[in-house]
Chain A
Amino acid sequence: MPRCSRFRSAVLLLAALGCGPADRDGGGTVIIASPADTETLLPALRTTVTGRMVTELLFDPLVELGPSLNPFGDAGFEPRLAASWAWDADSLALVMTLDDDAHWHDGQPIVAADVVAGYRVIMDPANGSPIRSEVTDLDSVTARDARTAVLHFKGRTAEPLVTAAAVVPLPAHLVDTIPSGGLATSAFAQQPVGSGRYRLVAREPKARTEFAAVLDHYRGRPGPDRLALVVAPDPATGIAKLWAEEADVWDNLPPTEVAAAGSHPQVRLIRADGWDYTFIAFNYRDPADTSRAHPVLATRAIRQALSHAVDRDQLVRALFDTLARPLLGPFVRAQFTADTTLTPPPFDTTEANRLLDSLGWSTRDRAGIRQRSGRPLRLRALVPAPSANRVRASVLVQEQLRRIGVDLVIEKLEGQAFGAARDAGQFDLVFHGVGTTPSVRGLRTTWASRTPGGQGRLNAGNFRDSLFDASLEAGLSALDPERTRTEIRTAYGRVIDDAAAIWLYEPVQVAGVHRRFLTPAWRSDAWWRTIGEWRLDPAAVRLPRDAAPAAP
């Protein structure tokens, strides 16, 4: 035990002696260190991964995706607030029967009106809910009786329960009094009454959020008595807290820290599939006038040449050693639809040079940069400064492209400036990242054609392919999971064949967890969903903070 912990132990022992009888053993306290805080406590307003974690601890959904991670149909889902569900005869209405034992943290029973309230909050445009785009399949939500809610779909969809899971019930007796548009600034948003296995105890924005176990929860009493999300904006400090036993979890250790873990035997490393991927998107449109095709990159052969020039294996080894894999396409291997038979253009500088020569980029200036009609082959790449991995990757790619006579000018921008330039199409190449989920509907925002309805919002390079769109929509409306998988794989193939991007890497997640906790199988997509099942190892030495909290 580090000396600091010994110091704290002594202080806590003295405190315990001064308080009377020693506390009984509890389920323990889990301190989650994180570089970012949640942006909200309400599920309807969350946008980040930390936001997902906090809101899912506080609020239970109707249903939840199980460990199979198969989002299609309803076989992969588990009941939560909805104890059971059934389809009406027309297959367009999902009837959800609520769990009789489910209650809000204030003791009120959870009723169908709460499901309607949750949906209404999402759909009220004045609330600006980012979840609204996730429930576009729904036509309406109604209450058939106090314990039965009905979700009416506009049409058949491959992922109906993904939609149902996005409609998180909210206590109607509290939110119905909030005026339209006032949700984010309401008292309820700062001190919400939830339905999850943990309730909010205290919150200091950007510093800490404390939760306590709901002892009479309808899903059973959770293991750890208390949780705390502690924000450490500097990752080095946050990880140091894990090593010093000031924190119990850090869910994404960088490779350098993984190597250091051997010196901290109290921490167990858990390796899991990653859900983020990074790629270099080519801009199909001219940055100077986005109504025109890009003067260089609109040609498929040149995109292929640039793809051939990047040694992705070497890049991944240099950046992550074994803690990432070269990306295969617009998906990660953990997804149900992943297709490992798809292969992007291999590293082949001979082929890259041949393609560039054939396109007329054959003469070189004194620096070795290719030219055509006196114009150098110079491309601007946008890189987000906050992403250390992407900044390092850009330098390696720059060097690799220089070898085939391409001058890559790196433009490193601060987060919001990067996002603004990317969304405005002010780049030739962009080092882009996508956070995926088991659901594949995210492809609509990342790769589908841009539409006024919001599709293709994150399609930074303006990739447009009607066959991709058709395969995607066919897959998302098929009722047979195998058919969906086939269609989605066809869509992946279209993006890869068109060389729409240079597929860089998908990092593996390595979490560090204190060994005194026994954890169930790690959910790579949302590890916190099983935190209620964590148990203190009876053989492990407990920390002072594990003592059972005093009764409220």
Chain B
Amino acid sequence: MGAALLRRLAQGALVVLFVVATCFTLIRLAPGDPFFRALDEGSVPAEVRSAQLARFGYDRPIPEQFVRYVGNVVRGDFGWSHSRGQPVGAAIAAALPATLLLVGTAGLLAFVGGVSVGAWTGWHADRSLSRGLDRLAMLLLSIPDYLLALLAVMGPALAWGLFPVGGARTEFGPTGLLGVVDRLHHLALPVLALALPIAAVVMRLQHAAMREVREAAFIRTARANGVRETRIRWRHALRNALVPVLSYGGVQFAAALSGVVVIERIFAWPGMGRLLYEGVLSRDYPLIAGGVLVGAIGTVLGTMCADLALRWADPRQRGA
């Protein structure tokens, strides 16, 4: 087990290095640079831009820049964010907790809700309520996430005034316990907009898996042995039916870490998705590299956690 974990960690480190190196190179090959002002803001003369590029070493060959970057990261220096005017480490330290809160809450809601409802509908697949919930999940799946987020802003937030339109807190709002309530109030809509489509996928996966498992031989055997129905359903059936959901969950969590761009943009949520998106638009090389590094580490760790969960859920995986 320990050796396998170490092997996975080493593989993960290589994956992270490869992903960062690829993004590091590609963004430098794209038109523009961190000192280029797009559109009509061309007040930075070419010679000033050249001097700035040289000052930060962006005029050096890309492999040389990458080696220097890796060396700096090892020393804990992630570079300077040109678009934010602060160290990249500070920018990530500010954005990562916001995204973890958003993705973590949404993920928890989506998986607890999706697994619970999916397990129930899968077990009772012949009931009309089950079919109705399945169609509702299809509907949620077919609505693009940006549309869901915009509808949330226009309806519950703007038209009905039940939630704030955007941001992470009320400007000059309360502090202390009421400040926490205020933050949760701001968190509600983005979490729902992010959680609902994921919950719909989880529910459908869980529904299909549960439906298949309920006909399995080991369920019939357990029932013949007089095991209680509740124990059969939640202990034997659900544990086996969790395998595909756990595989999906690991990947989805990692993807959501850097993929909540749309939700963060629409709800003005100051997280990693916005950080990376705005970094790419402004060709903020160090910020992009830092964001990709965090995203890649998140993906590797998310996949590893999913594998561990799979080993727990499916003993056959332990020999793999």
Contacts and interface: CB of A to CB of B under 8 A. Distances in A.
Interface of A: 2-8, 11-12, 14-15, 18, 29, 31, 39-41, 47-48, 125-126, 128-130, 132-133, 181, 184-185, 189-190, 204-208, 226, 228, 230-234, 236-238, 240-241, 243-244, 246, 276, 384, 386-387, 414-421, 423, 432-435, 445, 454, 457-458, 544-545, 549
Nearest to A16: B174
Nearest to B278: A206
Given A5-B161, A126-B55, A205 B91 contact: yes
B42 interface: yes
Contacts of B36: 416, 419-420
B32 A417 contact: yes
B268 A238 contact: yes
Interface stretch (B79-87, B107-115, B198-206, B298-306): B79-87
Contacts of A418: 38-39
> Which 5 pairs show the lowest CB-CB distances between chains A and B?
A416-B32, A3-B161, A415-B38, A2-B161, A420-B31
A125 to B, nearest CB: 6
B166 A419 contact: no
A130 B44 contact: yes
Contacts of B182: 8, 11
A421 B31 contact: yes
Contact of B281 (A132, A228, A387, A416): A416
B270 A230 contact: no
Interface stretch (B45-53, B215-223, B230-238): B45-53
Contacts of B150: 236
B157 A204 contact: no
Nearest to A189: B85
B43 A47 contact: yes
Contact of B45 (A238, A243, A386, A454): A454
Interface string B249-275: 000000000000000011110100011
A39 B32 contact: no
Contacts of B47: 454
B161 A47 contact: no
Interface residues of B, number: 67
Interface string B208-250: 0000000000000000000000000000000000000000000
Nearest to A49: B41
A458 B158 contact: no
Nearest to B150: A236
Nearest to B50: A128
A55 to B, nearest CB: 12
B275 to A, nearest CB: 7
Given A206-B270, A241-B268, 20 more contacts: A2-B158, A6-B161, A11-B182, A12-B174, A18-B176, A39-B83, A47-B37, A128-B35, A228-B171, A233-B265, A238-B166, A240-B153, A240-B158, A240-B165, A244-B161, A276-B40, A416-B281, A423-B42, A434-B40, A457-B42
Contacts of B82: 184
B72 interface: no
A3 B174 contact: no
A29 B266 contact: no
B189 to A, nearest CB: 11
Given A4-B164, A190-B86, A246-B171, A237 B30 contact: no
Interface in B164-178: 164-168, 170-176, 178
A39 B85 contact: yes
B209 to A, nearest CB: 37
Contacts of A11: 170, 173-174, 178, 181-182
Given A12-B173, A14-B178, A384 B268 contact: no
B283 interface: yes
Contacts of B45: 130, 132-133, 454, 457
A532 to B, nearest CB: 19
A415 B39 contact: yes
A549 B175 CA distance: 13
Most buried by A among B39, B51, B83, B268: B268
Contacts of B178: 11-12, 14-15, 18
A421 B94 CA distance: 35
A128 B165 contact: no
A414 B45 CA distance: 21
B312 to A, nearest CB: 39
Contact of B41 (A31, A47, A432): A47
B160 to A, nearest CB: 7
Given A4-B161, A243-B158, A458 B42 contact: yes
A12 B85 CA distance: 33
Contact of B172 (A48, A132, A226): A226
A14 B176 CA distance: 12
B51 A435 contact: no
Contact of A234 (B51, B80, B85, B268): B268
A206 B277 CA distance: 12
B55 A8 contact: no
B58 interface: no
21 contacts: A6-B161, A11-B178, A14-B174, A14-B178, A47-B37, A207-B270, A232-B167, A233-B268, A234-B265, A237-B266, A238-B268, A240-B165, A244-B157, A246-B164, A384-B39, A416-B32, A416-B36, A418-B39, A419-B39, A445-B43, A545-B170
Contacts of B166: 232, 237-238, 240-241, 246
Given A246-B167, A432-B40, A236 B153 contact: yes
A432 B166 CA distance: 32
Contact of A416 (B31, B49, B174): B31
Contacts of A458: 40, 42
A208 B171 contact: yes
B28 interface: no
Most buried by B among A126, A415, A433, A454: A415
A228 B172 contact: yes
A39 B83 CA distance: 6
A237 B85 contact: no
Contact of A181 (B55, B83, B153, B171): B55
A419 B175 contact: no
